[in-house]
Amino acid sequence: MSLKKNVISNFILTSSTILFPLITFPYVTRVLSSNGLGSIFFIDAFSQYFIILSSLGIPFYGVREIAKHKHDVKRNSDLVVELVILQFFLALTCCCIFFALHFFIPKLGSQISLIQIACLSILSNSFLIEWYYQGIENFSYITKRSLIIKSLSVIAILVLVKQQDDYILYFLILSLLVFSNSFLNFYNFYKHFYKGWPEKLNLSIHLKPLLVLFSINVSISVYTVLDTVILGFFTTPVAVSFYNVPLKLVKMFWLLIAGIGTVLIPRMSVLHANKNNEAIKDLMAKSINVIFLIALPFSFFCVVFPTEILTIISGKKYLPAINVLRILSLIPLIIGLCNVFGTQYLLPIGQERKILHATILGLIVSLAANFILIPIYSFTGAAISCLLAELTVCIYIYIWARKNIAITFDYKLLFLIILSLLPSFLLTVGLKNYLSSLSMMTLSIFVYIVSFILFQLLLFRNKFVEEIVSNVLKFKK
């Protein structure tokens, strides 16, 4: 499959990551209690530690190694078997540790049912092998499978989750989503790509490169979910929910942007092996352009209309989190750029240690900021800490990427986006006393879209935008 079709398939996949939560999340935030939802966020944050610990850096390592030898089916079959064995035993160990912790940590002791469900996700993740399909660039299969499973999970949530106390059932449905994806992925691999048991298992050969990626994942996992864990210990489940509800919304868009990077890792690895730096620079520039197109309008509307967005997504009981949404709305832009410099470039060229140094620095900033700010500002302090940590990582990775390759982006496209947002801003300032806030937000979004189209057609004729439109039209045909 061509890179363009891969990008579009992955865009559909990551768009569904936004669409389906937009259907279910407003529903569950209204049905479930803030306390129950906060408990899920707290346990899920803990389980993410163990999922990343048990993954051992395999998702990144697997994509890179499969992409390097994409046509060597037997070698890749053996690689999958070896990595799955490694991950499964690590996952089993992590589940035992997670379960044991509830005897020693009081805040975990009251959540034993959620811990048991979380362990199902940890074990299932061992067989997900999404990295295999990414490595062979079979994004069409990933997209079709994901859409089917997500659709079924949406139906299950809407039909079965009916009362405030159904938060355990809701968490079980989310875990079964992971289990179903893992089962189908592994079954499809066994049926079509499995070439028999390896003649000799060679697990140790993977350990050295995995340890660097493992260190990166541990550092990332600590500072990306540390805010929720520390918030859970210092405050209440309700405060955790006030932080995580806007965080969930922001994560939808940052996953959309991260999906672009995921699709390009295999291609970047091949281009680096062929020493095609011009093609690498071109792909990086296009990635940055897409990030600007998605992230800048998102940040603008979150800053200007946080009340309306939170009311629509989660209901008025989460309005205390307005400032959290404003602060976190910058995260998709920062993480998107960080993925271009790190995941798309430094990782495929074997510069994992630079990413490790950046994540350790981010961890230090996150720890210091969380322990200082959360006791004073509660969930708002957690949001500030998250922003500071991500910004630190992005700046560090950018500096190192810039030393290896010239990083460029389309200044005219950036100006086009900002100019298109200006009428929306002026409209908001001029008419805010005459229209309801929801009507104002709807009109503002419409004005931005119209302004962007008009400026593009009449003034800029930006080649990158024209290329996107052309590719989408060709894909439909």
Residues 226, 365 contacting (CB under 8 angstroms): no
Identify the weakest region by mean pLDDT among 144-158, 175-189, 438-452.
438-452
Give CA separation, 66 vs 70, 89, 104, 129, 186, in Å: 5, 22, 41, 11, 16
Cα 149–153–156 angle (5° rounding)? Answer: 140
CA angle 372, 331, 214 (to 5 degrees): 80
Residue 90 has a pLDDT of: 92
CB burial of residue 359 (10 Å; 0-12, 13-18, 19+): buried
Kindly state the DSSP code that residue 119 receives in the 8-state scheme: H
Name residues whose C-beta falls within 8 Å of residue 160's C-beta, 6 or more positions apart in sequence: 166, 169, 173
Instruction: Say which residue, 71 or 292, is predicted with more confidence.
Output: 292
What distance in Å separates the CA atoms of residue 93 and residue 426, rounded to the nearest whole number? 57
Q: What is the pLDDT of residues 37-64, one digit of tens each?
A: 989 988 998 888 888 888 888 888 888 8
Q: What radius of gyration do the chain's Cα atoms show?
A: 22
Handedness of CA 392, 337, 64, 61 (dihedral sign): positive
Q: ∠ at Cα 327 (326, 333), nearest 5°? A: 100
The pLDDT of residue 5 is 66
Residues 142-163 have a mean pLDDT of: 92
Q: Is the pLDDT of residue 265 over 90?
A: no
Following CA atoms 385, 390, 396, 402 in sequence, which dihedral angle do they give, to the nearest 10 degrees? -150
Provide the residue type at 373 as one letter: L
Which tokens is 416 given? 């086009």
Q: Which of 273, 225, 254, 236 is nearest to 385 (CA)?
A: 225
Contact indicator for 83, 209 with CB cutoff of 8 Å = no
The token pair that represents 191 in the structure block? 């049926």
| pLDDT above 70 (res 268) | no
Residues 182-195 pLDDT 10s? 999 999 998 888 88
Percent of the chain scored above 90 by pLDDT? 31
The CB density around residue 458, as the number of other CB atoms within 10 Å, is 8
Which amino acid type is present at position 52? I
pLDDT band at 161 (very low <50, low <70, confident <90, very high): very high
pLDDT digits (tens, 9 = 90+) for 394-431: 999 999 988 888 777 778 888 888 888 898 888 887 87
3-class DSSP state for residue 128? coil
- Report the residue count for the chain: 477
Which one has a higher pLDDT value, 296 or 475?
296
At position 71, the amino acid (one-letter code) is: H
